């Protein structure tokens, strides 16, 4: 197949997206597909549309070119008349058999791109615009999951004009978690142990977004469950060597101990996978996704959030879960395309 692997963009997760896209593009090339790597925001100004998906292609060279554009982001985004899609992006995506979305955060996962592609009849991997929008907004996610019977931590969505509310007014106790509603990769997530830390966390979060989620901190073990075509993969446990599972620990090799299958009883694993599958359905996810959990000392489970375009970097969780079933990275990339194409049957 001719495949565009779409990465980059202007979110805080641009670099992670480039790493994911590079890995996916190499895997699809190794599997015999004519895949190309493309930055969604800058695109490619000079492209031979008659040979857009060449037989011979240097993925690393394409990734290096995309990274070279990083220094242009500030000036490009300051132009109020500039659109989101870069040079020839729509043309190349329409020429492809499917677009593999290796985007993370903001306009890659919030449903806007998916809706634009739907209108243009461009096929793409992963969830459609409704599930993407629901999952991107952590406040909406919490509301939907509660209604579906999936346990979530107590909490509330705050606007900037509500930042003076005390933690006790929110019916919470220290410590609490403050996180932006629509961030990803744990960007804009803070743990506050007292009033001073809480106010600093709110100030930092509101610099990023106009709404934030404040919720009860759950002390315990952290897990993630990938779901492909509605069926949960083996549970993986995440144990950062220091701190919590933030951006640095997620993407620094060796910073986190990841165990798959997780050391859980059979009943615990079954329940968590059931919750993951229920969350997948409640949030209108399609093709694949990843659901994150905490479990406290009593064994109570809490769903933290949903990821509609899980990372595909060397340290990412879904590839590790698939590997525990004997599905290597290359086969996983093809599997994600296979289940995504079902949307268009």
Annotated catalytic sites, by residue?
Answer: 13, 185, 251, 290, 292, 305, 307, 311
Cα of first residue to Cα of last residue in the chain, in angstroms, is 17
The closest of 206, 217, 146, 201 to 182, measured between CA atoms, is 206
DSSP for 319-333 reads: HHHHHTTT--HHHHH
List residues bridging with 3 in a β-sheet: 35, 98
CB 116 within 8 Å of CB 62: no
Which residues lie closer than 8 Å to 245 by C-beta, 6 or more apart? 186, 222, 238, 256
Residue 164 φ then ψ, to 5°: -85, 0
Vertex 226, ends 111 and 251: CA angle to 5°? Answer: 80
Region label for 111, one of left (φ > 0), alpha (ψ between -120 and 50) or beta (otherwise): left
Distance CA 15, CA 331 (A): 24
């Amino acid at each position: 197949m001719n495949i565009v692997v779409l990465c980059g963009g202007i979110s805080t997760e641009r670099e992670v997206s480039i790493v994911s896209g590079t890995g996916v593009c190499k895997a699809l090339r190794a599997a015999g597909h004519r895949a190309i790597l493309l930055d969604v925001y800058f695109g490619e100004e000079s492209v031979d549309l008659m040979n857009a998906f060449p037989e011979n292609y240097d993925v690393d060279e394409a990734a290096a070119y995309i990274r070279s554009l990083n220094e242009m982001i500030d000036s490009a985004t300051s132009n109020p008349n500039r659109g989101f899609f870069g040079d020839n992006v729509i043309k190349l995506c329409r020429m492809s058999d499917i677009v593999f979305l290796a985007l993370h955060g903001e306009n890659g996962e919030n449903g806007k791109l998916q809706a634009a592609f739907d209108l243009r009849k461009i096929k793409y991997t992963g969830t459609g615009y409704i599930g993407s929008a629901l999952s991107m907004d952590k406040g909406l996610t919490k509301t939907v999951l509660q209604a579906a019977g999936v346990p979530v931590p107590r909490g509330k969505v705050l606007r900037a004009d509500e930042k003076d509310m005390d933690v006790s007014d929110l019916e919470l106790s220290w410590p609490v978690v403050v996180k932006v509603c629509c961030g990803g990769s744990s960007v804009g997530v803070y743990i506050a142990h007292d009033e001073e830390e809480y106010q600093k966390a709110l100030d930092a979060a509101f610099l990023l977004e106009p709404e934030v989620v404040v919720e009860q901190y759950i002390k315990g073990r952290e897990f993630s469950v990938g779901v492909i075509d509605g069926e949960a993969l083996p549970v993986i446990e995440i144990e950062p060597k220091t701190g919590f599972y933030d951006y640095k620990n997620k993407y620094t090799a060796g910073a986190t101990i990841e165990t798959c299958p997780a050391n859980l009883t059979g009943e615990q694993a079954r329940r968590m996978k059931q919750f993951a599958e229920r969350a997948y359905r409640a949030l209108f996810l399609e093709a694949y996704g990843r659901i994150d959990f905490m479990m406290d000392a009593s064994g109570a489970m809490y769903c933290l959030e949903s990821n509609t375009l899980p990372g595909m970097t060397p340290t990412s969780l879904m590839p590790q879960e698939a590997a525990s079933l004997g599905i290597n990275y290359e086969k996983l990339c093809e599997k994600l395309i296979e289940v995504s194409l079902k949307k268009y049957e």
